[in-house]
A and B are shown apart, each in its own frame.
Chain A
Amino acid sequence: MWIERLLVRDLRNIAEAECALGPGLNVFHGANAQGKTSLLEAAGLVARARSFRTDDLKTVVRRGQPSLRAQATAVEGSRRSELEVELGGGRRALRVEGRPVTATDYHGRLEVAVYATDRLRVIRGSMRDRRQFLDRSAGALWPAYRRLLAENERVAAQRGAALERRSGDRFAWDERLLEHGTALRVRRATYARRLHEALQDEYRPGGETYALRLSHPEEDPAAAHEQLQREIETERAAEQASGRMRVGPQRDRVVLEIAGADAVEASSGQVRSLLLGLTLAVLALHRQETGHAAVALLDDLDSELDEERASLLCERVCAHGQALVTTAHPGWARRVARDGRLFAVEQGRVLAA
């Protein structure tokens, strides 16, 4: 799966840009704040209908403009599809072949895995950030996971409201939590285990050990069901007294470790390496599961790695599929893009170099 053409309108400092991309390596170079990351953001936006840099989509639309548009021709084998996301005024329109579609219909047509420093919150941010990373990555792979996640959020919100109201239907919401929560935990545990395994085979500078652990790693549905039931019963009195939810997959812990220690405490360099390792593990898992490669969006790769390692990594990623890479170093860009395509980005404009 790859992006043949990317068209961006009114996204951050880009008024309009169009690039004809290659199926392998595509390097965007330019000084800082010229719009390189915004191009990657546009590709991510077309794939997932959300920005990997922010949840506040208002800030993504170019100042003074009502809306932004990101459009791509996605190619898989001999099949091409035109995907489009338009955002503005609190509305989001998704189109396939020019026709409006629902989010459920839209998702899964193009997949990306992102490495960008804006994403360091996955490692350093709150537990919610890590859970969200895991859930969104799994949701990109398995459509049923997305539905399960949405239903769980709904159950949690309803159960929370029932507890707050001290409503007589609490047992019905307990039962719903038990069914949906168990299903989500089991799927999440399977995805986390496989991501952990992929993490061992991917980028690990200096042979550091990486680990991804869950507070609820049970993959057997019966055992997971029993565990959640126990938790609900244990917390019953406390939930009743406080009127607040204290159990459920929306509170589970996701821990990332470097050499056996929680990565939240690790150095900046280690954290960036782990994020890169995770990105590559997500790509590998996607390939294993679907048989085709997701598009790798690698922002400012050579700030993390020396030139030689960055080049080797690009080669490795592009052996499987497409990569869109940004760099501030034109020399490295020219050397690494010998087998790919090179674009210069200047003040929001893209020039094929």
Chain B
Amino acid sequence: MQDYPAPLAALVDELRRLPGIGQKTAQRLAFHLMKAPEAEVQRLAQALSGFRAALRLCTVCNAVAEGELCACCTDPGRSDRTLCVVEEPLNLVVVERTRDFKGRYHVLHGALSPLSGIGPDELRIDGLLERVRAGGVEEVILATSPTVEGEATAVYLARLLKPLGPKVTRIAMGLPVGSDLDWADEVTLAKALEGRREY
């Protein structure tokens, strides 16, 4: 069997390390790049080498930022009274897409998972507590994922935050809007029933 030339094999190896990419996809991407115009490959290479240096974590909320503070933290149109806590920077982007939330964020960079060695000290919790202690925060929305780990993280944070004064809420879980009830799985439906509200 003929092996790939070393530079191509190295590229396939690196691509394979990325989440969601297996051997075959890595090979396809590598061969695509080999045939692509030089300018296109150069643009990708520059984007890859430049983006890490250009980005940092916001010193207030830990979101991805270009400077010391992220766009949300510097936006004067946002309210300081509500804080939305998410696990990852990507979750913040998803909430932002709704264009409905006009408060501030706090990114934990993970969820509690003792199995993976992630305890409270590994998450960015101290900064959150400091922000609440500084005053002005009336509600903290815990928007961690509805997984076992996300729920435990929410429980943990709720216990620490409540004595500090703000209202602590958890995002609702249930049926996707616009979908037919017939297609809902039993567990999601059970959660939705549990979280029903009165009209």
Contacts and interface: CB of A to CB of B under 8 A. Distances in A.
Interface of A: 104, 142-144, 147-148, 151, 154-155, 157-159, 161-162, 164-165, 167-169, 171-173, 175-176, 180
B136 interface: no
A143 B152 contact: no
A162 B117 CA distance: 9
Contacts of B186: 142-144
A304 to B, nearest CB: 36
B114 A143 contact: no
Nearest to A161: B114
A161 B119 CA distance: 10
Closest 6 CB pairs of A and B: A161-B114, A172-B156, A162-B114, A167-B119, A172-B155, A172-B152
What does DSSP make chain A's interface, helix, strand, loop or mixed? helix
Nearest to B147: A154
B89 interface: no
Contact of A169 (B151, B156, B187, B190): B156
B187 A165 contact: no
B85 interface: no
Contact of A158 (B113, B185, B187): B113
A165 B119 contact: yes
A151 B190 CA distance: 15
A289 to B, nearest CB: 13
Contacts, number: 61
A143 B187 contact: yes
Contacts of B159: 171-172
24 contacts: A104-B185, A142-B186, A143-B185, A143-B187, A144-B190, A151-B148, A155-B148, A155-B152, A158-B114, A158-B115, A158-B148, A161-B114, A161-B115, A162-B114, A165-B114, A165-B117, A165-B119, A172-B153, A172-B155, A173-B152, A175-B152, A175-B155, A176-B151, A176-B155
B114 A173 contact: yes
B112 interface: yes
A155 B117 CA distance: 15
B68 interface: no
Contacts of B151: 176
Given A104-B185, A155-B152, A173-B152, 5 more contacts: A144-B186, A161-B115, A167-B119, A168-B119, A172-B159
A175 B112 CA distance: 14
Contact of B115 (A142, A157, A172, A175): A157
Count class of interface residues, chain B: 20 to 34
B174 interface: no
A43 B53 CA distance: 58
Given A155-B148, A158-B149, A176-B155, A169 B185 contact: no
Contacts of B148: 151, 154-155, 158, 176, 180
B166 interface: no
Given A144-B190, A154-B148, A158-B148, A169 B115 contact: no
Interface in B138-182: 148-149, 151-153, 155-156, 159
A229 to B, nearest CB: 14
Given A169-B119, A169-B120, A172-B152, A144 B187 contact: yes
B83 to A, nearest CB: 19
A187 to B, nearest CB: 11
A176 B152 contact: yes
Nearest to B157: A172
B184 to A, nearest CB: 11
A340 to B, nearest CB: 35
A151 B153 CA distance: 15
A139 to B, nearest CB: 12
Contacts of B119: 162, 165, 167-169
A154 B190 CA distance: 20
A223 B170 CA distance: 26
A158 B153 CA distance: 12
A93 to B, nearest CB: 15
B171 to A, nearest CB: 17
Given A155-B148, A158-B149, A165-B119, A172 B187 contact: no
Contacts of B114: 158-159, 161-162, 164-165, 167, 169, 173
Contacts of B115: 157-158, 161
A239 B83 CA distance: 36
Contacts of B152: 155, 158, 169, 172-173, 175-176
From B151, B152, B153, name the one whose CB has the most chain A CB atoms within 10 angstroms.
Answer: B152
